[in-house]
Amino acid sequence: MEYRRLGKTGYNVSIIGFGGIPIQQNTQEEADLLIKTCISQGINFIDTARGYTVSEELIGNALKKMNAKDIYIATKTMGRTYEAAKKDFEISYKNLGRETIDLYQFHNIAKIEDYNTVMGENGAMKFFKEMQKKGYIREIGLSSHSADLMNIALDSGEFSTMQFPINAVESQGFPLIEKAKKFDIGTIAMKPIAGGVLMNHGKESLKYILENKNLDVAIPGMWSLDEVMTNTSIGNNFIPLSDEEKAELLEEAKSLGTDFCRRCNYCQPCRVGINISQMFTLDLYKTKYNLVDWAEARYDTEKVKADECIKCGDCESRCPYHLPIINKLEGVSERFEGAR
């Protein structure tokens, strides 16, 4: 496995890290095997979040059983105030069962108002710093989908790492990691295969971003052993993309445009219970990847379907990509239900 220094943290991290969103669907037994396999393949950086339901717990339990050492654990809080961050931290700390959390991050700071709250007098940063002083947190980082916000955070000098979506479709992260390198801030790529939508070129997308030495670690979400083996094989035997592979990847990326769902689920919960990202995923499989029967069969099993949207708009205000969800759901409904 290739390792890179994660900026000023000094951590020597595997270029393929573990993204902790999909593990939520695993049992503890499956999670144990998954984490064990990741570590045996050289992964030493695991990223999770308080917001990923049982992810921290599954990972924490797996690591405890293995008595795994020299593994860097990163988690995050959506808490913006001192009290909210404290509440989250106490749960994360218990879930992960470690003496110190290697990297504690502000999760998905989207607006300047949130950033100002975090950095303000009774903000979450005050709590982070107290915990850091006491040795419960080693390093402080943040994640965001906003390039403007990330620029402000990089300039502040307050953070050891930045986490941003970087993949073949989303190129706005490249100037950010270049800037971060100048400040010796560690760089973490979330959504390295664009939330899984670069289905035909997942490996190529990982290679594409990791060829850029300003990036320290990519954290694809993984829940199956196959995914672990495929992704870690890249870090274990890094072969740069050929010109042909690169051209094909960029062609697929171009065909997706920017108006696609990254399956981050920040839009949830939906008032009527629509699984929004699932709707868009099934639509993509049906229309772009031609998995018509499979997608329609899966759509039929969804309890609440796209046409049940009451257009309240709650989800749209939460989507970091500002997707026109209501409009897009109408399209899904037409393609799945209108065709019957």
User: Binding residues for ligand SF4, per CB under 6 A?
Assistant: 261-267, 270-272, 274, 276-277, 309-315, 319, 321, 323, 325-326, 329
Nearer to ligand SF4 by C-beta: 96 or 264?
264
Q: Minimum CB separation from ligand SF4 for residue 304, in Å?
A: 9
Nearer to ligand SF4 by C-beta: 83 or 334?
334
Q: Minimum CB separation from ligand SF4 for residue 153, in Å?
A: 21
Q: Minimum CB separation from ligand SF4 for residue 253, in Å?
A: 16
Cβ partners under 8 Å of residue 318, min gap 6: 266, 267, 268
CA pair distance 155, 303, nearest whole angstrom: 46
Tokens 């950095």 sit at which residue? 119
Nearer to ligand SF4 by C-beta: 149 or 270?
270
Q: How many CB atoms lie within 10 A of CB 120?
A: 14
Nearer to ligand SF4 by C-beta: 214 or 281?
281
Output the CA torsion sign for 149, 165, 276, 20. Answer: negative
Q: Minimum CB separation from ligand SF4 for residue 144, in Å?
A: 14
Nearer to ligand SF4 by C-beta: 4 or 305?
305
CA pair distance 326, 332, nearest whole angstrom: 10
Instruction: Evaluate whether 188 touches 47 at the Cβ level (below 8 Å).
Output: yes
Q: Is 303 helix (H, G, I), strand (E, B) or coil?
A: coil
Q: Minimum CB separation from ligand SF4 for residue 263, in Å?
A: 5
Q: Minimum CB separation from ligand SF4 for residue 56, in Å?
A: 21
Nearer to ligand SF4 by C-beta: 75 or 108?
108
The interaxial angle of helices 225-236 and 202-210, nearest 10 deg, is 40
CA pair distance 237, 338, nearest whole angstrom: 47
**Nearest residue to 55 (alpha-carbon basis) of 68, 73, 70, 39:** 73
